[in-house]
């Protein structure tokens, strides 16, 4: 046989096998869902499959006539296929026909859950791809996130926790965990444009954010880590690393952390004396979650219990804020990856054979079954807010760029179940490659079964407010901003109009106004408000701290409310007159401080005198510490602050004070003026056993009792210690 004949036969066999594979590919991929014939990979395989069928018919019939007929038909069919392929090229699938403006909204009475849907999301502001401090601040915000936050606020869900909105999502001192989806890369990872906008919203807290923000995930074993490939953004050169690096370079406490590196490490909780970063794993329930030191090194975080305070030996759950931020996509095992399924990135999948009986058993026996392991974990690490990134939606799987559609939607809810149900029902399923798997309402469908199991555990067993029943869900679109009423005029509350002898440092307070988003405060020295001392229209809480007021001076003030519709009228103006009080500025260190009340009148509530304190006040008596919310003269207290700061307080001078002490150690307070330790006397005399000790990141003997501070002193008998600041004033 000649070499060219042998080669020709090999070529014919080659094309036979290619055609057979193309035919089988079309059958396997398209019989269940014929609309997949519109996908690019199916279109490419179709001409090859048609030719293979033709050649098979020719081989079977063996007829010259049929061969000629088939050959002629083949040309016609092939031409028709090419025309069909070309004509439908711009219509990849139903995904391109997806209409975000067609998304349904509705409102029910007394809903269990509220879902907010922002369609046709606007472009972001600039790129953070440079990853350094040269990026202008104007690029840090994201209009989509800003609009979503306004939508939430219009129905009473506020992104910032303040005095006016105590149920807000993020407190000023919170450690915020943004749990994204970075196991896969590109457009199947959480949008970096949306995350930068959320970070900026948190950093713009009206009470000055002093916590930390950590962008986290457990990428398990599917990728290197959270890295430059996580670049789902309008500028694909902007990765999540660039976003975090930009904020960090500008001095903001923003970090990334991949929990995958904790997977192999097991341990105990901080309360059990184990201070290493690791995964907690309960063999009886299979529940696992991370505990770790924050990248700054300042905070010990248990994702289950909160922020560990080593000195007080207790957790503070109120300071841990978890925000769930998944991307919308199909999942071959669960049906869909949305807000609930995203919590698999919180658990450890290490040692699946030992812990679960294998990889498949981990998923089908524990995670997606009635055991509902993913929601057992979510129940003890529950997110305060779930935001679903559906700017791009994966119609099938995690890695095919041909199967990702630009759906341009952003959703949010405090209920991870309801937002998952809505996103699957109205965004993913209409465009999904396998809609029978993604439909949350289809009996015995994959996602229906998974979401039902998860909802049953969260609602029935954990007692959390969640639902996948549309009769218990209200859904709001961007039109909710247009439906908002004008805000009500504020009503002033304190100090009352005409109040005299007011301190030179005080709080102005007014009642919360319906539909208000911001407040506009004016303070003036005249009734016409022509000489404004304060003119602030960005306030989000119904209170304002005035400092450095003049003695014996009358001040006038008024407030109006503002929202997206407009503003109310100004309130009736009130006035107050200051007395002859004095002010003192007290320096606080980050962490624990020993403080006291140096004045004899005015407000004595800890939260009003030291509003930035992040702990209760602890007084010492008879060998024990006691919680206090009101401060008393002469008593010393332990109080914690998140960072170093100066606090100005005012009141009537307390120049001389007699402080009762008991045998042993006493934690005493101060007066309004400094007092030299060498000039302190006691009754009876001689009971002071040694030095007075102050605290500033450690104990040290003091030579002066400073206003606003507290000191340890040991006495040999019950009696009194006399602090006299008059001598120092005369000097």
Residue 50: predicted pLDDT: 76
Pairing of the two strands 320-324 and 385-394: parallel
**Greater confidence, 150 or 228?**
150
pLDDT band at 525 (very low <50, low <70, confident <90, very high): very high
Say what the pTM is. Answer: 0.64
The helix or strand, by DSSP H or E, that contains position 46, with its residue range, turns out to be helix 40-61
pLDDT band at 85 (very low <50, low <70, confident <90, very high): very low
Residue 565: predicted pLDDT: 77
- Tens-place pLDDT, residues 482-511: 766 788 999 999 999 999 888 888 899 999
Q: CA angle 487-488-494, nearest 5°?
A: 125
- Tens-place pLDDT, residues 51-84: 767 776 666 665 554 455 445 555 544 554 444 4
Residue 484: predicted pLDDT: 66
pLDDT beyond 80 at 25: no
Residue 94: predicted pLDDT: 47
pLDDT beyond 70 at 621: yes
Cis peptide leading into residue 407 (ω within 30°): no
Mean pLDDT of 348-360: 91
Residue 731: predicted pLDDT: 31
- Tens-place pLDDT, residues 432-447: 999 999 999 999 999 9
pLDDT beyond 70 at 7: no
Take residue 40 and report the two structure tokens written for it: 């690019």
Give which of 229, 236, 298 is closest to 258, Cα–Cα: 229
**Greater confidence, 565 or 452?**
452
Give which of 212, 215, 203, 211 is closest to 241, Cα–Cα: 215
Residue 1: predicted pLDDT: 43
CA distances from 41 to 38, 77, 98, 319, 654 (A): 9, 19, 21, 50, 83
Residue 496: predicted pLDDT: 94
Residue 35: predicted pLDDT: 41
Query: How many whole angstroms from its chain centre is CA 357?
Result: 34
pLDDT band at 480 (very low <50, low <70, confident <90, very high): confident
Helix (H, G, I), strand (E, B) or coil at 80: helix
pLDDT band at 618 (very low <50, low <70, confident <90, very high): very high
**64 contacts: CB under 8 Å, gap ≥ 6:** none
Residue 326: predicted pLDDT: 96
* Side-chain-facing half-sphere of 578: CA atoms under 13 Å: 23
pLDDT beyond 50 at 21: yes
pLDDT band at 87 (very low <50, low <70, confident <90, very high): very low
- Tens-place pLDDT, residues 149-194: 999 988 889 999 987 788 999 999 999 999 999 888 778 889 999 9
Rounded Cα distance, 308 and 319, in Å:
10
Residue 528: predicted pLDDT: 93
Residue 163: predicted pLDDT: 78
Q: What is the mean pLDDT of the chain?
A: 86
**Greater confidence, 197 or 42?**
197
Residue 622: predicted pLDDT: 83
pLDDT beyond 70 at 28: no
Q: Tell me the longest C-alpha to C-alpha distance in the chain.
A: 129
* Side-chain-facing half-sphere of 282: CA atoms under 13 Å: 12
For 563, list phi and psi in degrees, rounded to 5.
-145, -170
pLDDT beyond 80 at 319: yes
**Contact (Cβ atoms closer than 8 angstroms) between residue 695 and residue 641:** no
Residue 228: predicted pLDDT: 76
- Tens-place pLDDT, residues 357-393: 999 999 999 999 999 999 999 999 999 999 999 999 9
Residue 79: predicted pLDDT: 52
């Amino acid at each position: 046989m000649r070499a060219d004949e042998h080669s020709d036969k090999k070529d014919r066999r080659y094309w036979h096998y290619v055609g057979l594979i193309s035919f089988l590919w079309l059958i396997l991929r398209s019989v269940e869902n014929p609309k997949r014939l519109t996908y690019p990979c199916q279109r490419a395989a179709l001409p090859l499959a048609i030719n293979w069928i033709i050649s098979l018919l020719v081989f079977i019939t063996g007829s010259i006539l049929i061969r000629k007929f088939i050959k002629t038909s083949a040309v016609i069919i092939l031409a028709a296929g090419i025309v069909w392929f070309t004509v439908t090229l711009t219509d990849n699938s139903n995904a391109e026909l997806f209409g975000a403006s067609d998304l349904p909204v509705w409102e029910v009475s007394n809903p269990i859950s509220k879902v907010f849907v922002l369609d046709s999301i606007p472009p972001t502001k600039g790129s953070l791809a440079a990853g350094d401090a040269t990026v202008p601040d104007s690029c840090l915000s994201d209009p989509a996130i800003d609009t979503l936050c306004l939508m939430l606020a219009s129905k009473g869900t506020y992104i910032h926790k303040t005095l006016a909105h105590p149920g807000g999502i993020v407190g000023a001192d919170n450690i915020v965990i943004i749990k994204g989806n970075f196991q896969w890369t590109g457009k199947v990872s959480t949008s970096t444009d949306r995350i930068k906008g959320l970070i900026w919203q948190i950093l713009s807290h009206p009470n000055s954010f002093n916590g930390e923000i950590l962008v986290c995930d457990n990428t398990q074993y599917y990728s290197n880590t959270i890295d430059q490939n996580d670049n789902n953004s309008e500028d694909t050169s902007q990765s999540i690393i660039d976003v975090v690096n930009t904020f960090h370079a500008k001095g903001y406490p923003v970090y990334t952390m991949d929990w995958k590196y904790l997977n192999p490490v097991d341990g105990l909780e901080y309360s059990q004396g184990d201070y290493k970063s690791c995964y907690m794993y309960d063999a009886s329930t299979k529940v696992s979650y991370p505990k770790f030191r924050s990248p700054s090194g300042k905070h010990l975080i248990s994702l289950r219990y909160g922020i560990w305070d080593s000195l007080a030996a207790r957790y503070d759950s109120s300071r841990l804020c978890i925000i769930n931020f998944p991307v919308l996509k199909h999942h071959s095992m669960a049906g869909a990856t949305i807000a609930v399924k995203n919590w698999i990135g919180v658990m450890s999948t290490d040692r699946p054979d030992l812990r679960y009986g294998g990889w498949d058993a981990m998923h089908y026996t524990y995670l997606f079954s009635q055991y509902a392991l993913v929601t057992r974990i979510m129940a003890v690490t529950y997110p305060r807010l779930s935001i679903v990134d559906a700017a791009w939606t994966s119609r099938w799987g995690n890695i095919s760029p041909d199967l990702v559609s630009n759906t341009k939607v952003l959703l949010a809810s405090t209920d991870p179940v309801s937002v998952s149900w809505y996103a699957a029902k109205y965004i993913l399923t209409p465009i999904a490659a396998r809609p029978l798997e993604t439909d949350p309402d289809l009996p015995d469908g994959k996602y229906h079964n998974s979401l039902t199991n998860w909802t049953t555990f969260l609602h029935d067993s954990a007692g959390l407010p969640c639902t996948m029943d549309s009769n218990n869900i209200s859904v709001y679109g961007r039109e909710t901003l247009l439906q908002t009423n004008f805000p009500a005029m504020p009503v002033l509350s304190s100090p009352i109009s005409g109040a005299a002898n007011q301190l030179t440092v005080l709080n102005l307070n007014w009642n919360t106004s319906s539909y208000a988003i911001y407040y506009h405060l004016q303070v003036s020295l005249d009734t016409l408000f022509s000489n404004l001392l304060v003119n602030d229209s960005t306030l989000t809480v119904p209170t304002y701290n005035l400092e450095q007021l003049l003695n014996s001076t009358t001040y006038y003030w008024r407030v109006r409310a503002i929202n997206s519709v407009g503003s109310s009228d100004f309130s009736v103006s009130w006035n107050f007159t200051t007395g002859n009080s004095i002010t003192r500025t007290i320096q606080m260190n980050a962490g624990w401080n020993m403080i006291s009340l140096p004045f004899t009148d005015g407000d004595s509530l800890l939260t009003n005198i030291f509003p930035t304190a992040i702990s209760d006040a602890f007084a010492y008596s008879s060998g024990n510490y006691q919680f206090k919310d009101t401060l008393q003269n002469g008593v010393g207290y332990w109080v914690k602050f998140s960072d170093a700061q100066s606090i100005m307080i005012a009141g009537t001078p307390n120049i001389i004070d007699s402080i009762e002490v008991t045998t042993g150690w006493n934690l005493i307070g101060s007066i309004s003026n400094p007092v030299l330790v060498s000039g302190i006397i006691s009754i009876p005399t001689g009971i002071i056993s040694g030095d007075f000790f102050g605290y500033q990141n450690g104990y040290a003997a003091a030579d002066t009792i400073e206003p606003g501070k507290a000191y340890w002193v040991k006495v040999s008998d019950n009696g009194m210690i006399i602090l006299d600041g008059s001598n120092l004033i005369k000097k």
